[in-house]
């Protein structure tokens, strides 16, 4: 027997089963009420707020708690900047005066009150790495500790203004966490504000790129399953940054409208060369009237030049 609980959120009502899984909104999720394009598919076009205070992995203090209480969620949101500062390390906090509330955005825990973006494994944590992936990471950490700034390529992709935030999967960013979607019958474009990266998803049934061609954001192909847009991405590069990831990574994203102003974003990462099992997560994006602004990263990326100059000066000394 299925037991359901009704939770109120503003003008709507959200239904959760006894295990806390979201069901259809009580007000009805009739597909005919969704905004649609002339070709009959749900209309995702517009700008979406993709920010979230929900962490990727479940915090240890909530190890056996898949959901916050309302009070816990508000308290968790209040200390978001503190957790970000801790994640960056003491040196970053000392040398970078911008790690304060004047530049960060006020993110909220998702309305389903989950304690982690990851929904599978059930513990809300990334699965264990394979022995080979653990060895690769250890070797990379050792190499970077001994030669952290020999070349620009030694720095992360984000520090080099190459890519940060576009995914897949598309995870919330501390700032500029917006995405713009443009949709045609032949393709869907997803523009990430952080850092001005575009993914063009073909919907015409074309095959993936040959196995020998790799791209940092992968090679996406889309299809419609009813009112859900399914995007499969393959052909990643070895440089694509996701803990332990390899070019064998296969990411499936699913986008569906819960209502005209709420988009459900679900994803599954399958990388058998990195993880001992696939893992999945979900988020809600909210439609916004905010504009997407250019994130002019390269034009003002003096930090990269100064990092390398500082390293050369230290070597001369």
Quick check: 82 pLDDT over 80? no
Please indicate, yes or no, whether residues 23 and 43 belong to a single structural domain of this protein. Answer: no
Q: Is 197 a domain residue?
A: yes
Phi-psi region of 165 (alpha: psi -120 to 50; beta: other; left: phi over 0): left
Residues 149 and 312: beta-carbon distance below 8 Å: no
Q: What does pLDDT average to over the chain?
A: 84
Quick check: 103 pLDDT over 60? no
**pLDDT value at residue 165:** 84
Specify the pTM.
0.83
Please indicate, yes or no, whether residues 204 and 303 belong to a single structural domain of this protein. Answer: yes
What stretches of the chain adopt beta strand conformation (E)?
Answer: 4-9, 12-17, 46-49, 118-120, 178-183, 187-192, 197-202, 219-225, 228-234, 250-259, 262-270, 279-288
Please indicate, yes or no, whether residues 119 and 68 belong to a single structural domain of this protein. Answer: yes
Quick check: 148 pLDDT over 90? no
Please indicate, yes or no, whether residues 3 and 98 belong to a single structural domain of this protein. Answer: no
Please indicate, yes or no, whether residues 152 and 216 belong to a single structural domain of this protein. Answer: yes
Q: Which of 124, 108, 111, 48 is nearest to 76 (CA)?
A: 108
Quick check: 179 pLDDT over 80? yes
Q: Residue 72, SS3?
A: helix
Q: Which of 196, 192, 240, 195 is nearest to 214 (CA)?
A: 240
Cβ burial of 14 (10 Å; 0-12, 13-18, 19+) is buried
- What span, in angstroms and rounded, lies between the C-alpha atoms of 238 and 216? 8
Q: Count the neighbouring beta carbons within 10 Å of the beta carbon of residue 57.
A: 15
Quick check: 14 pLDDT over 70? no
Instruction: Write out pLDDT tens, residues 258-309.
Output: 999 999 999 999 999 999 999 999 999 999 999 888 888 877 678 888 889 9
Q: Is 32 a domain residue?
A: no
In this prediction, residues 252-259 reach a mean pLDDT of 97
Q: What is the DSSP letter of 55?
A: -
Confidence of residue 243 (pLDDT cuts 50, 70, 90): confident
Please indicate, yes or no, whether residues 150 and 1 belong to a single structural domain of this protein. Answer: no
Query: Above pLDDT 70, what percent of the chain?
Result: 81
**Least confident interval from 64-68, 108-112, 189-193, 278-282:** 108-112
Cβ burial of 271 (10 Å; 0-12, 13-18, 19+) is buried
Please indicate, yes or no, whether residues 202 and 286 belong to a single structural domain of this protein. Answer: yes
Instruction: Write out pLDDT tens, residues 16-36.
Output: 443 444 444 434 445 668 999
Cβ neighbours of residue 257 under 8 Å, at least 6 residues apart?
Answer: 34, 35, 42, 44, 227, 263, 264
**pLDDT value at residue 1:** 32
Q: Give the residue numbers spanning the domain of 251.
A: 39-316
Cβ neighbours of residue 102 under 8 Å, at least 6 residues apart?
Answer: none
Please indicate, yes or no, whether residues 16 and 130 belong to a single structural domain of this protein. Answer: no
Cβ burial of 43 (10 Å; 0-12, 13-18, 19+) is middle
Number of folded domains that form the chain: 2
Q: Is 250 a domain residue?
A: yes
Quick check: 251 pLDDT over 70? yes
Instruction: Determine the Cα angle at 94 with ends 88 and 100, to 5°.
Output: 70
Please indicate, yes or no, whether residues 19 and 80 belong to a single structural domain of this protein. Answer: no
Highest-confidence range of 133-147, 150-164, 252-266, by mean pLDDT?
252-266
Instruction: Write out pLDDT tens, residues 152-173.
Output: 888 888 888 888 888 899 999 8
Question: Long-range contact list for 98-103, CB < 8 A, 24+ apart?
Answer: 103/175
DSSP notation for 128-191? PBPHHHHHHHHHHHHHHHHSTTSSGGGS-TTTTTS-SS--SS----SS--EEEEEE-SSEEEEE
Please indicate, yes or no, whether residues 224 and 103 belong to a single structural domain of this protein. Answer: yes
**pLDDT value at residue 238:** 85
Please indicate, yes or no, whether residues 13 and 62 belong to a single structural domain of this protein. Answer: no
Q: Which of 176, 189, 165, 173 is nearest to 255 (CA)?
A: 189
């Amino acid at each position: 027997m299925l037991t359901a609980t009704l939770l109120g959120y503003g003008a709507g009502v959200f239904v959760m089963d006894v295990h806390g899984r979201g069901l259809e909104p009580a007000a009805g999720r009739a597909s005919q009420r969704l905004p649609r394009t002339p070709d009959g598919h749900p209309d995702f076009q517009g700008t979406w707020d993709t920010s979230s205070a929900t962490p990727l992995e479940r915090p240890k203090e909530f190890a056996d708690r898949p959901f916050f209480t309302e009070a816990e969620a508000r308290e968790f949101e209040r200390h978001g900047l503190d957790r970000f500062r801790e994640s960056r390390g003491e040196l970053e906090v000392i040398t970078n005066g911008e790690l304060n509330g004047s530049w960060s955005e006020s993110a909220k825990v998702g309305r389903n009150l989950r304690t982690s973006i990851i929904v599978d494994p059930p513990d809300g944590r990334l699965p264990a790495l394979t022995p080979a992936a653990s060895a690769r990471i250890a070797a990379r950490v050792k190499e970077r500790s001994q030669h952290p700034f020999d070349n620009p390529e030694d720095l992360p992709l984000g520090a080099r203004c190459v890519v940060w935030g576009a995914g897949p999967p598309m995870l919330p960013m501390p700032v500029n966490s917006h995405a713009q979607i443009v949709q045609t019958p032949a393709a869907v474009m997803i523009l990430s504000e952080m850092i001005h990266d575009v993914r063009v998803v073909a919907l015409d049934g074309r095959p993936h790129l040959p196995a020998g061609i790799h791209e940092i954001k992968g090679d996406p192909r889309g299809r419609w399953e009813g009112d859900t847009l399914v995007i499969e991405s393959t052909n990643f590069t070895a440089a694509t940054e996701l803990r332990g990831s390899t070019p064998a990574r296969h990411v499936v994203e699913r986008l569906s409208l819960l209502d005209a102003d709420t988009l459900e974003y679900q994803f599954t990462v399958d990388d058998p060369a990195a993880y001992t099992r696939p893992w999945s997560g979900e988020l809600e994006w909210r439609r916004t009237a905010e504009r997407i602004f250019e994130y002019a990263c390269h034009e003002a990326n003096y930090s990269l030049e100064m990092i390398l100059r500082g390293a050369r000066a230290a070597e001369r000394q």
